[in-house]
Structures are given as C-alpha cells and as structure tokens.
Structure 1
Amino acid sequence: MVTLFFFFFFLLLLLFLSSSVSSHSQPYFKLPLTANTPFISATEALIHDSLRLSSSSLTAPIVSAASSGAGHYVASLHLGTPPQLLRLVADTGSDLVWSRCSPSSRPRSSSAFFPRLSSSFSPFHCYDSSCRLVPHPHRRKGKLSCPRSRLHSPCRFLYSYSDGSASSGFFSRETLTLTSSTRPIRIPSFRFGCAFNVTADRSIHGVLGLGRGPISFPSFAALRFGNSFSYCLGDYALSPPLTSFLVIGRRNSTAALRYTPLLSNPLSPTYYYVGVVSASLNGKVLPIDPAVWALDRATGAGGVVVDSGTTLSFLPAAAYRCVVRALAKRLPRAAQLPGPAGFDLCLNASAAARIPSLAFRLRGGAEFAPPPLNYFIEAAEGVKCLALQPVAADGPGFGVIGNLMQQGFAIEFDRVAGRLGFAWTGCAE
C-alpha cells in the first residue's frame, strides 16, 4: 500500500514538473508584424528620415519618427488587465517602449491605452531606481530632481522631437500578455512609457523600442525567451500588406543565415552597428576608401547602423557620391529622369530591370546584396528614385541601413554572440 502511494506521488510529481517546464521553456515568441498603410511617399520619407536623424546625437538614441506614422512596420501586442491591443512601431534605433495613453475611462476609439481600465497599471515612483533610465523633464545637471514629497510623485518621462513635438507621460509597469496557439502567457511588471501628451498619427499607438539599452523590449524579454530577436520586413508595395513576424527569442530557421559581428560604440550604446568593408556594383568593388566606413571608437563618429525605424538608407558622403556616379554611368541616359527635390538619381520604371546589383561586403566576409527594388523607391507614377542619401554634415555622422533596404531579409539580432545574421527569404517563412 505504501509502495503504491509513493508510486502515484512520484507520477504526479513528474507530471507537475513536466507541465511547469513546458509552460516556462518556450524558446521564442512571435508578434505579428506588418507595414503601416498607406506607406510613405519618397518625398515624405526624405523629410521624416532627415528629421529623425537630425534629432539624434552620439549620446542619445535616435528619436523615433512615429509622429508621422508612415513608412514604418508595426508589431501588435496586448497590455493591461484585461488585455488591450496595441500597435507599436518596431524600432531598432530606440530603447523606450511607449504608448499613447488616455485618462478616460470611457474609450471612444482604440488608438490609445486606457490605464483606468486596467487593474494592473502602476506608475513607477520618481524615487524608484528605474526612473533614472528614462529622459526626465525635471533632470538638472544630469541628476533626477524629484518632489520633496514622496507621496503622489510618479516617474515622468519626456522625449522631444526635432520638429517641435514631444511625447511625455508616466514611466510605468503593466502586465504584458502574449497570445499563442496554446494559451496566453502573462508577464507582470513590463516597463513602458504611458504617454498622455504626444503628437502622432492616431493609427499608431506608440513605439516598441528594440535597441540595445536596458529598458528596450529585447532586454526585458531576454529574462524569459533569451537575448535575441529576429524579423522579416515584408514588401510595402503588396496589397493587402504581407504579415510577417517579430520573433522574440531564438528559433531554428530553415534559412542559412550569414553572420557579421555587431560592433559596439560606448558613446552610442543603443544602436546596432555593423562593419562595412566595401561596396560593389555588379561584382566590381567601387573605389571607396575603407576608412570612410570606419567607426571611430574614440569619438563615437562614423560607422553604419541597422535601423528599422528609418525608411531610406544613408551612406557616408564620399561613399554616396561614388555609388551615384557608378550607377548613373551604368544606366541608360535616356532612362534617367528628373525627380523630386533631394533625389539625385531617378529613372523610368521600365528601366528597373537594368539596375546594376549593389552589394556591401561586411566584416567576417558576409555579403549583403539586396535586390534593386530595395534601394529604389517609387517617387511618382512610372518614376523610381535611388533610395539612398548622403549623411548630412550636421547629422549624427553615421550611416544607416533603413527598412526599405532590409525588406525581404530574415534578420537576426543575436545579442548574446554579438552578431547579426541575415538571409534573403522574401519573408516566405
């Protein structure tokens, strides 16, 4: 009898342990990812990307251009108790996760998060150590200034935009709910900015910061799913837009990824830098001094970052001029057309099949070779323009591989091994 009792006890213990392991050992999680529609025009992309980059510096992350709401890819997740659906811009160029918030308890639309309807919403206190991780409106001489009274002193944050608008509110914690094919996973104490004052497109709720900083979404998710994430940005021209996934954690992929080391910049710890060695056209290396691509770790200037929140791509001025000259020389003059202001090379869309293949050799030997439609954007009916821009002299000083250039590639940010993997899949996986 005693033996039978211990047998059943041991069996129940095994079942409990196996269920506990299975409920906590999910290696990755997928969030739906789609291009925001309507997608941005070439002229709008140039304006918004220029504003985005002009607002950045070597000591602060790029301020997300979610104020436009166009030209971006949005991820969907649920926050609060009961869960509320949010559509956030997936942004590898910033850290803070923030959502537009409304003080109302009677929502008339689904364009914001309503903290009054959530039983698990709680702002951080100004004296909480987490409050030191966000830009604060009352920071003086680099130090956080909190009210003398410790009662009713929520942690406030303020993100300023170069166009004069701002996002401000309470840095808070909430319950994050991740839906899956089996059962929802509820994760408490998710840190995010609840923005009560923000100028942004109503179709966009906020920003999902995917940067390398401690308050980014991957940094939070690393405790549960592992310190890596990946995505594939679908072709923005498809209608209806293709739904792919932002994968949190690491999964086995059928795509054979090529890897290049992620470089670190102590003065810009948010960004994912990659080392460009050279550029080529139709397999012929262009005469660009390798020093043009280099990251100066002493000053923090230079280098190239991978940024999902910028539409166009930006090259160091010397590299940009060389690429434009080489492309113009290889394209039929009869096909080259005048384009909108700010674009140096445009052509008749019928000549798109004759665009030379542009490729970038990266550190470690991997070659990033996007198809021509990834570096030409439709500027008008029947007109395509080169979707590259020179790094402005008064800008942040680094190059950018934007989301248009990344389309169709499965891209993995392996934050543990310090490397970036990529493979052309067309987002078919």
Structure 2
Amino acid sequence: MWLLYSLSLLLLLLLFTLTDLSYSIAINTSIDYLKLPLLHRTPFTSPSQALSFDIRRLSLLHHHHQRLSFKSPVISGASSGSGQYFVSLRLGSPPQTLLLVADTGSDLVWVKCSACKNCSNYVPGSAFLARHSSTFSPIHCFNSLCQFVPQPRPNPCNHSRLHSPCRYEYLYGDGSKTSGFFSRETTTLNTSTGREKRLKSLAFGCGFRISGPSLTGASFKGAHGVMGLGRAPISFSSQLGRRFGNKFSYCLMDYTLSPAPTSYLMIGGIQNNAVSKKRILKFTPLQVNPQAPTFYYIGIKSVSVDGVKLPINSSVWSIDELGNGGTIIDSGTTLTFITEPAYREILRAFKRQIKLPSAAELTPGFDLCVNVSGVSRPTMPRMSFELDGDSVFSPPSMNYFVETADRVKCLAIQPVNADGDFSVIGNLMQQGYLLEFDRDKSRLGFSRRGCAIP
C-alpha cells in the first residue's frame, strides 16, 4: 500500500528471530487454515476516477520503495474500479467488527481507534473502542517490537520510562497520516470448519489520529484501517503464517457476473484443503528485492498477444542492482501498470490485432477504446505473460478490457513512465485466479481451476 517507513534490512532480518509476535492459538491442531470475510466497496463513479486513485496509489507505492533504499467471502465491484477489498475482522473482547483494506503492498495492521469515555457522540461502527475491550494492551517502549514501527518526531518513545507506551506515526506521500499506539489485541476468526476461534496477541497500530485524502477520501470510504499482507514480520500474514504453513491465498471472482459471486481469502495452504486435488497450481518464484522487502515480486520473461511474442527487451522486467524495476503483485491497485517500453509494444500489438472500430471518443486516461455496438460477444486478442519457472499467466480479455461507457471497452493497462519504477499486476488482472503466496518456498502459485470451490 502506501505506508512509508524506513527499516534497515538488518533489523528486518533480526525481527524474524523474535518471538514477540507469536500467537497463542486456541484451536485444534487438525485445523489447517483460517477463513476471513472479504467485502468489496465501490466508491468511484467512473473508471477514470478509479484510474486517478490508482495513479495516486502507484505514486505512493513507488515512493514507499524509494524510502525503503482464512477462507472468506469476497464480493467484487471492480466494474467501477474501486480496487479496495475489505477484510471483516473482529477485534477485542467482546469482539468489535471492523473492515480493513486487504493489502499485499504493505505490512502494518492498523485500525481507527476512539478514546471516547461516555461515547455520547460516537458513531457506532466507525472506530475500534479500545476502552471497551478487556484484552487491549499497548506495547511498551522497552519491548523490542517498538523499534520496528516508525515513531513520531520530535517525541519518540522514551525507553527510560518503564510504562511509556510505544507510539507510531505513518506518513503518506500525499500528506496523509495515521498515528497512535502500537498495541496487542485478541482477534476472533472463523476456521475451515466454520467455528469461531479466538487468537491472542495480534500486534497492530491503534490509530487515534487519521488525516489526509488517502485515508479519508472516497478510496477509503467505509474502511476502518489496513490489513498489511506484505512480507515483513509485522504483517498479518506473517503473524499468523508461521502457525499455518506460512502461506495465504485468495481468489477474486469475475466482477461481471450477477449476482455478485463469492471468493475467499485463506490463511494457510490450500493443499491441506479437502478439495485441493481439483486445484492444479502453476508456480513462479517470488523474487526478493532488498530495497523493497515488503513487496511480492515476480519475474516476467516475455509477453505475447495472440501467440505472437512481442519484441520487448528482457532487461525492462529486471530488478537492477539499486533495487529499481521489476514487477509486483498488488491487491490494492485495480488496473495493471507496465513499464513504458513494454507498454508501448503491448499497445501497438493490440491496436494491430483488434478488428473492432475505435470508439468515437477515448475515455479520459485510456489509450485504446473500441466500440462493441452490435457485437453480442466481442472477441479481443489474448495476452500472455511468460514467467520465471516456465509458467504462463494467460488471463482472459475481461481482465484487461473494461467497459468504460455503454458499448465501449478500453484497455485497462497503463504505462509506468518514470525510469526505475516497477510494474504492477493489479487486482483486475488477477480476477478469476486462485493465487497462493507460499513464503517458505518463496513462490506464487496460480490456477484458473477450482477458484469458486469453497
């Protein structure tokens, strides 16, 4: 996501050895994975508005990179392109239900908190009430975890005071900010058997001050915080992952279907699922970028359109010695953004292969739009990505052509213009695929089969 904090790689590696984030999990050892509800909201009124959000998010992701030098229902509304998938998380004792943005591009778990006492002016469901939970506990400054969250200046934690709480402050590239206490709390989740289980000691940011367009604008409407699913030890997937095979997976269903289909986010390996034999995964290695350890990088070898390999220099997909370039998988961005030299060739190939007439007017922000009037089932060229590990990712055209107006479809791929910036495979391109992030084996599994199987 857009969370910006500066951690040294050495400290990041040291954190893996700490036991402070370990869970006390009161569940039977026969339970293989967890399931959490995911919902989708549609705050944007047009694809152009969604594109504007995506471009801002992309800028924040790239800025974040520079600064660094369970099984659950998912309801998709990507037709309007909000790009936000929300995890429904029950936090505290008794549990309070909160919606968090599921984000593979960030690490910290944080929620909006309220410090009200009598709560006479409190809007129910708008924030987490820490005072109303018997299990809420701030992490203190002397705790080793405190050094791994960004702290406010000029008043960072006072390590000399025994009862000084750990304060955090996250700054965003557009001036947005969340700050509060880094804390622990009990979460209530559903297991693969459908039973509720309580997990203790989730480390998260309890934000008492939230400001700025990224956190208060349309793109964040209805959210109470962010569930970071990145690769750092403080992410949600890291904290729970060690108990469940250090894996998580999700499947974002086709948003064009009606009624809205159900998809799933799972903490734990799908190979332990009873129906796993129906899901045959292909794998590609997850690359490691020391300059941006949060992100899930994959290696692209080549791109083809209708079976024709495009003349793209393989170096445009590489991560250089400074950590620039590469391609990440991001659940929080809607469209797909491709490095400019490769984008030029992809755009040229689509224009050459498409037989449909051009739209009378281009939708603002899009470079290729066609008129599909009078065509019941318009056929678009098929794009394929050859990935490292000799696997091929070949999504259907609905994953990269979206209807921006009545009977007008536009190519939902955008260029990344700045030198050194990475490419992003957004959640629209991921629709209909089961994706498994296997962190122990450092690989991404994907399949078009079995995506709808609970």
Q: Secondary structure at the match of 1:405?
A: helix
Cα-to-partner distance string for 1:42-71 (whole Å, 9 max, x where unaligned): 21222111111212343547xxxxxxx932
2:323 and 2:131 map into 1 onto residues whose CA distance is 43
Q: Contact between 2:287 and 2:298, CA under 8 Å: does it hold in 1?
A: yes
Is the aligned partner of 1:85 residue 2:97? yes
1:263 and 1:151 map into 2 onto residues whose CA distance is 41
Is the aligned partner of 1:178 residue 2:189? yes
Q: Contact between 1:177 and 1:186, CA under 8 Å: does it hold in 2?
A: yes
Deviation for aligned residue 1:240:
4.6
Match of 1:163 in 2: 174
Match of 1:14 in 2: none
Q: Which amino acid aligns with 1:251?
A: I
Select the residue among 19, 34, 49 that pairs with 1:44: 49
Q: Secondary structure at the match of 1:224?
A: helix
Select the residue among 421, 424, 429 that pairs with 1:397: 421
Q: Contact between 1:173 and 1:190, CA under 8 Å: does it hold in 2?
A: yes
Select the residue among 199, 216, 219 that pairs with 1:187: 199
Select the residue among 325, 329, 339 that pairs with 2:348: 325
2:124 and 2:449 map into 1 onto residues whose CA distance is 37
Q: Which amino acid aligns with 1:427?
A: C
Q: Which amino acid aligns with 1:166?
A: K
Match of 1:406 in 2: 430
1:389 and 1:25 map into 2 onto residues whose CA distance is 45
The 3 A distance-change label for structure 1 pair 349 and 110 is farther
Q: Secondary structure at the match of 2:316?
A: helix
2:26 and 2:332 map into 1 onto residues whose CA distance is 36
Match of 1:35 in 2: 40
Q: Which amino acid aligns with 2:174?
A: D
Q: Contact between 2:279 and 2:450, CA under 8 Å: does it hold in 1?
A: no
Deviates more, 1:110-119 or 1:178-187: 178-187
Match of 1:374 in 2: 399
Match of 2:73 in 1: none
Q: Which amino acid aligns with 1:160?
A: L
Is the aligned partner of 1:269 residue 2:290? no
Deviation for aligned residue 1:182:
5.4
1:120 and 1:170 map into 2 onto residues whose CA distance is 15
Is the aligned partner of 1:147 residue 2:158? yes
Select the residue among 328, 338, 361 that pairs with 1:315: 338
Q: Secondary structure at the match of 1:190?
A: strand
Q: Contact between 1:51 and 1:162, CA under 8 Å: does it hold in 2?
A: no
1:210 and 1:84 map into 2 onto residues whose CA distance is 21
The 3 A distance-change label for structure 1 pair 70 and 195 is farther
What's the C-alpha RMSD, in Å, of the aligned pairs?
2.4
The 3 A distance-change label for structure 1 pair 406 and 195 is same
Structure 2 unaligned blocks of 5 or more: 1-24, 69-80
2:141 and 2:362 map into 1 onto residues whose CA distance is 51
Is the aligned partner of 1:355 residue 2:376? no
Give aligned pairs, total. Answer: 398
The 3 A distance-change label for structure 1 pair 337 and 166 is farther
Q: Contact between 1:39 and 1:72, CA under 8 Å: does it hold in 2?
A: no
Q: Which amino acid aligns with 1:228?
A: K
Matches within 5 A, 1:236-315: 236-252=255-271, 253=276, 254-296=278-320, 298-315=321-338
Deviates more, 1:405-414 or 1:154-163: 154-163
The 3 A distance-change label for structure 1 pair 40 and 274 is farther
Q: Which amino acid aligns with 1:263?
A: Q
1:40 and 1:412 map into 2 onto residues whose CA distance is 31
Q: Contact between 2:252 and 2:263, CA under 8 Å: does it hold in 1?
A: yes
The 3 A distance-change label for structure 1 pair 40 and 420 is farther
Q: Contact between 1:35 and 1:234, CA under 8 Å: does it hold in 2?
A: no
Q: Which amino acid aligns with 1:186?
A: R
Is the aligned partner of 1:214 residue 2:214? no
Q: Contact between 1:98 and 1:208, CA under 8 Å: does it hold in 2?
A: yes
Structure 1 runs of 4+ with >4 Å offset: none
Deviation for aligned residue 1:331:
1.4
1:364 and 1:150 map into 2 onto residues whose CA distance is 52
1:72 and 1:235 map into 2 onto residues whose CA distance is 15
Match of 1:5 in 2: none
The 3 A distance-change label for structure 1 pair 60 and 93 is farther
Select the residue among 178, 200, 203 that pairs with 2:222: 203
Q: Contact between 2:156 and 2:167, CA under 8 Å: does it hold in 1?
A: no
Structure 1 unaligned blocks of 5 or more: 1-19, 62-68
1:165 and 1:336 map into 2 onto residues whose CA distance is 38
1:177 and 1:301 map into 2 onto residues whose CA distance is 40
Q: What TM-score does the superposition give when structure 1 sets the normalisation length?
A: 0.86
Deviation for aligned residue 1:332:
2.8
Cα-to-partner distance string for 1:298-347 (whole Å, 9 max, x where unaligned): 11011100000111111110000000011011113623443233211111
1:81 and 1:286 map into 2 onto residues whose CA distance is 56
Q: Which amino acid aligns with 2:54?
A: D
Q: Which amino acid aligns with 2:288?
A: S
Q: Which amino acid aligns with 2:136?
A: F
Match of 2:114 in 1: 102
Q: Secondary structure at the match of 1:101?
A: strand
Match of 1:58 in 2: 65
1:278 and 1:114 map into 2 onto residues whose CA distance is 50
Match of 1:4 in 2: none
- Report % sequence identity: 51
Q: What TM-score does the superposition give when structure 2 sets the normalisation length?
A: 0.82
Q: Contact between 1:90 and 1:209, CA under 8 Å: does it hold in 2?
A: yes
Cα-to-partner distance string for 1:63-103 (whole Å, 9 max, x where unaligned): xxxxxx93211111211001111211111000011111122
Which of 1 and 2 has greater Rg? 1
Deviation for aligned residue 1:427:
3.3
Matches within 5 A, 1:339-350: 339-350=362-373
Match of 1:6 in 2: none
Cα-to-partner distance string for 1:132-182 (whole Å, 9 max, x where unaligned): 11122227xxxx942376265322222222332222221111011113445
